[in-house]
Chain A
Amino acid sequence: MAEPATDFTLDTAQVLAEEEHGASIVGRSPWYLAWRRLRRNYIAFIALFVFVVIAVACSLAPIYAHHIAHTAPNATHTEDIVNGKQVLSAPVIGTDAQGNVVVEKAGGVLGPTWWHAHGRFVLGADGLGRDVAVRLLYGGLNSLKIGIGSALICVMVAVLLALLAGFYGGWVDWIITRSFDLIWAFPVLLLAIALGSALSINGFHHFGISISPHSLWIPTLVISYVYVPYVGRPLRGQILSLREKEFIEAAIGQGASPLRIMFSDLLPNVASTALVFFTLIIANNILTEAGLSFLGAGVQPPNPSWGTVIQEGQERIISAPWLTLAPGIAIVLTVLSLNIFGDGLRDALDPRAKVRVEH
């Protein structure tokens, strides 16, 4: 590495390279080297740990609901008495700062009980008398399913299209890049809303595929579809430049089939980029899902997701702010941990790579 060009530089790549200086890199695979770099990044590991804790907690939602909270995500408990208070009390009449009479429509809701009620209504109740903690966990499960599922589909489709476009070039490339441009021409959220609302009418029943309007597949597919060009474009660029390298020429010279070149020569070279994209796009997709569900074009009620829980809580923000705060904090923690881990992964795999999810 050259000396720093100016006195205000600190390049992560450079620092990492200097740290590697003493250690032997002979005979080590790039994945091992990346792992060795990642290992030193404690912050990334803490972030990964936070994400795993959240994911495990959400996947234990049914156990929590049945054995601790003794309820179900959509069960209403308006009449129950918890901690000596009714879950949904009678309408409250009061005055606000200006002296106007204010009537809470359906009365106040039970606030967080913080385990005083033996695990029931730990985070309070929502406007329909449902347990917020239970809905939050189930909602998280749905949000994570959609986030991870759509990221997986999105990255796989993008890699496949990028391989085809980059390897074959010509009219294949033309069609693929034009269709990327087409999706690119929409504001992402508007396209997602348009698709989400059109599909939530009757579901999808074409080409022998049948999806019901309440299925989680609809938000999953919609979100993965709208982000394909954002991942596919940079990958295609990488493959185009790899295509010119000697080892591909050698593979063609040996008579390797196109499939073999694409999957065993080109794919391993973009795998690290795809992996980083995968991590970062999960975070991005969780945010998009929340936005879509908030607007009613994603997960359809009464199914919970973090977005729908916020949307349901928003009406009562004055009297019950925890209904909105809790799911929001859950989203921020999840997305933040994924972003931090994704950044760490990118620095470890290829400090010079410019992988990022553009909005």
Chain B
Amino acid sequence: MTAFIIRRFLGMIAVLFAVSILVFLIFIIVPGGDPASRIAGKHPTPQNVVNIKKKWGFDKPFYVQYYEMMRKVGTGLLPGNHSQYDVLRSFDDQTNVVHEIKKGMPATFSLTIGAGLIWLFWGVMVGVLSAITAGRWADRMITTVALVGISMPVFWLGIITRYFLAEKPSHPWFPDGGYVPLTASPWEWYKHLILPWFVLAVLFIGFYGRVLRSNILDTINEDYVRTARAKGLTPRRVLAKHVLRNSLIPVVTLFGLDFAAVLGGGAILTETVFELHGVGFYAAERVGALDLPPIMGVTLYGAFFIVLFSAIIDILYAFLDPRIRPA
């Protein structure tokens, strides 16, 4: 077991290394052209471009640039003050990328944790309710609503709910976007987050509901469920103890990965629409300026969470399910 955990974490480090190389390729090699002349502005003097090249290290071979980039990300993570040459900085306004990401984390974490609880609870509810009423009108209604939920662009849903529930002067029921830290005012924090939570959760509720429904309907036809029914157990007990336990496994995997993705800044659209100054918002804001280091930083940060959570899920499964445990 220990060996498995160690191996899984070594694998995680290998994937992160590969991810960082891919990110580096995307940002330094793919754009082509000369990043220095992009930074220098519209009518740079040649000397200016050369200076910028030296300053940012664009004149070095790419493996040196890669090493420098990773070193800067690493130093940025350490506490304390650093000289401006030791941290990953934005091309645009020279701010410290790691610092900006850290600043965005409270908003992103608040959004993720609240929305995650909502979508897990309602996703399971939708799945179970539609499975036990399968074929009846309740099931038709629920599955239709779930299908509409996964067919909506999340940012559009956000804009529309914000317009109808917060912006329209006739009924401003909710505050109009923005994030208030929990420490500043818990009530305001809650009021500002409730719309983003639900908007972000809608897609996942519909999706999990559909997955769970089909899993339950498959499990119900298994022999052990028939045995349980034949023993005289009530349908409710069979559902809770025998069917749900097995049907929930894929949902738990999905939840782990989706939760990690949103924690890693994956809810860019929701954060942007509601002006929650989280990690995703930071990335979206910099896309417009074609400011690559922040997007690179957020991408690495997001990949870290996904890789970490998938390792944790694997290890948890190995604990919970002896069939998966490696010999």
| Contact surface of A with B, Cβ cutoff 8 Å | 2, 4-12, 14-15, 96-97, 178, 181-182, 184-191, 193-195, 197-206, 283, 287, 290-291, 294-297, 307, 310, 314, 317-318, 321, 324-325, 327-328, 331-332, 335-336, 339-340, 343, 354, 356, 358-359
Tell whether, in the assembled complex, residue B155 and residue A185 are in contact, meaning their CB atoms are under 8 Å apart.
no
Which residues of chain B come closer than 8 Å to A97, judged between CB atoms?
169-170, 172
Q: How far is the CA of A324 from the CA of B18 in the complex (A)?
A: 40
- Residue contact A194 to B235, C-beta cutoff 8 Å: no
* Contact call A6/B151, Cβ cutoff below 8 A: no
B134→A200 contact, CB < 8 A: no
Contacts of B210 in A (CB 8 A): 356
Least CB separation from A15: chain B residue? B135
Query: Which residue of A has the minimal Cβ distance to B262?
Result: A187
Is B272 in contact with A295, judged by CB distance below 8 angstroms? Answer: yes
Shortest beta-carbon distance from A229 to chain B in Å: 13
| Cα distance A295–B159 in the bound complex, in angstroms | 13
B80 at the interface (CB under 8 A from A): no
Judged by a CB distance under 8 angstroms, whether B313 is at the interface is no
Q: A8-B239, A96-B169 are in contact. List 6 more A-B contacts (CB 8 A).
A: A5-B220, A314-B159, A318-B163, A328-B160, A335-B152, A336-B148
Inter-chain contacts of B292 with A (CB < 8 A): 197-198
Closest chain-B Cβ to A195's Cβ sits at a distance in Å of 6
Check A5/B226 contact, CB under 8 A, given A185-B19, A187-B265, A189-B269.
yes
Cα distance A294–B157 when bound, in Å? Answer: 13
Q: With A185-B306, A295-B284 in contact, do A332 and B221 touch (Cβ < 8 Å)?
A: no
Q: Does the CB pair B283–A193 fall under 8 Å?
A: yes
CB distance from B294 to the nearest CB of A (A): 10
Residue B26 lies at the interface, judged by CB distance under 8 Å to chain A: yes
Q: How far is the CA of A296 from the CA of B290 in the complex (A)?
A: 10
Q: Which residues of A contact B110 (CB under 8 A)?
A: none
Cβ of A324 and Cβ of B299 under 8 Å apart? no
A324 and B296 form a contact (CB under 8 A): no
CA distance A290 to B214 in the complex (A): 29
What separation, in Å, do the CA atoms of A294 and B156 have in the docked complex?
A: 9
Q: When the two chains form their complex, are residues B167 and A200 in contact, meaning their CB atoms are under 8 A apart?
A: no
By the criterion CB–CB under 8 Å, are B290 and A200 in contact?
yes
Cβ-based interface call for B31 (8 A): yes
Which residues of chain A are within 8 angstroms of B168 by Cβ–Cβ distance?
Answer: 318
A324 vs B158: C-alpha distance when bound (angstroms): 11
Q: Which residue of A lies closest to B25 (CB)?
A: A198
Q: How far is the CB of B225 from chain A (nearest CB, A)?
A: 5
A188 / chain B contacts, CB cutoff of 8 Å: 261, 266
Q: Does B50 sit within 8 A of A, measured CB to CB?
A: no
Cβ of B132 within 8 Å of any chain A Cβ, yes or no, is yes
Would you give the 0/1 interface string for B171-201, flagging 1 where the beta carbon is closer than 8 Å to chain A? Answer: 0100000000000000000000000000000
| A358 CB, min distance to chain B CBs, angstroms | 7
Q: Can you list 21 A-B pairs, Cβ within 8 angstroms, ordered by A?
A: A6-B238, A8-B131, A8-B132, A10-B134, A10-B135, A15-B135, A178-B18, A182-B22, A186-B19, A190-B265, A190-B302, A193-B268, A195-B30, A283-B151, A317-B159, A317-B163, A318-B163, A324-B163, A331-B156, A336-B151, A359-B207
Mark contacts of B26-65 with chain A using CB atoms, 8 A cut-off: 1 yes-contact digit, 0 otherwise.
1101111100001000000000000000000000000000
Q: Which residues of A contact B296 (CB under 8 A)?
A: 194
Residues of A with C-beta under 8 A to B290 = 197, 200-201
A358: chain B residues at CB < 8 Å are 254
Majority secondary structure of chain B interface residues (helix, strand, loop or mixed) = helix
Residues from chain B with Cβ under 8 Å of A6 in the complex? 220, 225-226, 229, 235, 238
B258 CB contacts on chain A under 8 angstroms: 359
Question: Which residues of B from 207 to 237 have beta carbons under 8 Å from A?
Answer: 207, 210-211, 214, 217-218, 220-222, 225-226, 229, 235
| Interfacial residues of chain B within 131-167, with CB under 8 A of chain A in the complex | 131-135, 147-148, 150-156, 159-160, 163, 167
A202 touches B148 (CB 8 A): no
In the complex the two chains form, is B287's CB within 8 Å of A295's CB? yes
User: Within 8 Å CB of A204, what residues of B?
Assistant: 30, 32
Chain B residues whose CB sits within 8 angstroms of the CB of A96 once the complex forms: 169
Contact across chains for A202 and B26 when beta carbons are under 8 A apart = no
CA distance A178 to B21 in the complex (A): 14
Chain A positions within 8 Å of B30 at CB level = 195, 198-199, 204, 206
Interchain nearest-CB distance for B187 vs A (Å)? 21
What B residues does A205 contact at CB under 8 A? Answer: 32
Identify the 7 closest CB pairs spanning chains A and B, nearest first. A187-B266, A10-B135, A328-B156, A97-B169, A336-B151, A10-B134, A335-B151
Measured in the bound complex, the distance between the Cα atoms of B290 and A4 in whole Å is 58
B217 touches A11 (CB 8 A): yes
Complex CA distance for A343 and B310, rounded to whole angstroms: 29
User: Which B residue's beta carbon lies closest to that of A314?
Assistant: B159
Cα distance A264–B277 in the bound complex, in angstroms: 53
* Interchain CA distance A181-B225 in the complex, whole Å: 35
Name the CB-closest residue of B to A203.
B32
Report whether B235 and A7 are in contact in the complex, using a CB–CB cutoff of 8 Å.
Answer: yes
B151 touches A310 (CB 8 A): no
CA distance A200 to B31 in the complex (A): 8
State in angstroms the CA–CA spacing of A307 and B163 once bound together: 18
C-alpha gap A191/B295 in the complex (Å): 9
A216 CB, nearest partner CB in chain B, Å:
18
Determine if B276 is an interface residue (Cβ-Cβ < 8 Å): no
Q: In angstroms, how far is the closest chain A Cβ from the Cβ of B245?
A: 15
